[in-house]
Structure 1
């Protein structure tokens, strides 16, 4: 008989098991436990059919149709499970820990698999995720700076030097501005972003500092979970400053390899903020392949916005540090030394 586990215990146990999410592909796409495999009991269309029968005819008729659909696939389920989990150790869940996960667990347990299930299903897991953000006291340091300071690159250098880093923009597939979507994969749902964020946080030592980039709560179309956002706002902020020329060059290096049409679309998104005249100048600069001039026009807006937000920032400690003619690795090394000196 399979064992039903709480979300916390299920995740701990699943480190040595293969997680099978038996919800539909559509449900899985909306959000899932990181590293889980989609192993749908029903296809999207089949689940819709069974659900319609349940509501419009009767639960019994829906159950019988479900048996009919699944019966044809039982052998295939066992064979696929053997490929995915050669050690035959599985952790299975559905949406609420109901019939779908129970049915799959029964089948695979009878086929010789060691199976545990998630009590309350994915819904319970989601509650666990959001509660974890609220209750954990992460030792966060926020790295800030104007657009073009190469903050993400510096975070990656910090990570190479052994620091703990959470790359929010990398998880969100967005760089955080009107231009942030360019060159990125499709963004995940906010739900799945939250799942991934907790998954990455749980790999880290909560008693040591964790670096994150200074962000608005919204990164493209996704939002940082409120519990984690509150901890970012109460953390120390290290605001780095770099010369305009260096920031322009960083933007040129980042965006010249991208589609010029995409850059034009991004400029059009901020037309009201930069003004019609500046938009025309930016379009002309891109037409002439003058990416430096286009970057300066964008920075004229973003620098004002960043300064306004910095003046409104209520972080308990704000440190302003200027860097000139230093690469990202050198800045990362100096930031580590600074934190040791300040004991943060």
Structure 2
């Protein structure tokens, strides 16, 4: 049995209704619905063949070619779907909810699956995702100079049940010249947006949603403009942590990283750091004087942070003296200040 389902209705059942994305591996890698399993009807090369035939010869010839290319694959598709959905209840989609997902739905229905074909396909999810960025969330922004422990504090608050989205985790980047930590690979812009929208859907608009203060670009990924503009309008609490504690925190995060990686990151900001400071920072890295390197880099990052803070309306920035190492205590201070600002 096959029936249509909207993307919103599928999202309501996502925990119990597995989703198969029948687009090519390349399409899936570019961007996909979180939780979907890739079950490509065509390989990347086969899709090009079918598309070319459709444009140059016609629809019917393209359909025939499609059946020729998939003829030996159908048993495998069914076996894969039995693994994805052992209860034989599954949703499928392609780019627009057209022929590819329709063919898969037909075959699975013939085998006895209860199949739901997502109306509008992946494009419908993208439209739904963009709507999430426009929702009027009750945003609260947590700022502070590099090393203030903002991310750790927000993670602690999330564990305590508060609404928090870690934008840097979604972007797989810490937002500085050293932001990949020499190990993280950023998702595509599409997938960053897809994952962000997926988390936003569970956030209640009335309750406070905490986000870390960010530039619009986190590495090479950009925060969607509607959300970014709301972030700029929101109240910002500026964590004020002693410099020595910030150095300790940054040593924990960056002190063990590969020296060559740190040198490359330092060279990328040499124009802003200045030739003398760049030379001194690289020497400190090579000689294993990581605290000295961090203090030199902080001169630039602190200056950049103060400049950015100065661009916000003064009436929307509130300082909070914090330890930077006692998450429970800092969380209580933050909650008290946030409550007083309502």
1:306 CA drift (Å): 0.7
How far apart in 1 are the matches of 2:274 and 2:196? 37
TM-score, length-normalised on structure 1? 0.95
How far apart in 2 are the matches of 1:341 and 1:310? 21
In structure 1, what is the equivalent of residue 90 of structure 2? 90
In structure 2, what is the equivalent of residue 24 of structure 1? 24
In structure 2, what is the equivalent of residue 131 of structure 1? 131
Name which of structure 1's ranges 234-243 and 327-336 shifts more when overlaid on structure 2.
327-336
The answer as to whether partners of 1:233 and 1:315 remain within 8 angstroms in 2 is no
The answer as to whether partners of 1:158 and 1:333 remain within 8 angstroms in 2 is no
How far apart in 1 are the matches of 2:15 and 2:324? 45
Matches within 5 A, 1:1-344: 1-134=1-134, 136-314=135-313, 317-324=316-323, 326-343=325-342
The answer as to whether partners of 1:237 and 1:315 remain within 8 angstroms in 2 is no
After TM superposition, which residue ranges in structure 1, 4 or more long, deviate above 3 angstroms? Answer: none
SS at match of 2:13: helix
Per the alignment, do residues 10 and 58 of structure 1 end up closer, same or farther by CA in structure 2, a change over 3 Å counting? same
SS at match of 1:90: strand
Aligned-pair RMSD on alpha carbons? 1.5
Per the alignment, do residues 172 and 17 of structure 1 end up closer, same or farther by CA in structure 2, a change over 3 Å counting? same
1:79 CA drift (Å): 1.1
- 5+ residue gaps, structure 2: none
SS at match of 2:296: helix
TM-score, length-normalised on structure 2? 0.96
1:316 CA drift (Å): 5.9
Name which of structure 1's ranges 54-63 and 151-160 shifts more when overlaid on structure 2.
54-63
How far apart in 2 are the matches of 1:37 and 1:326? 40
How far apart in 2 are the matches of 1:14 and 1:208? 24
Tell me the matched-pair count: 342
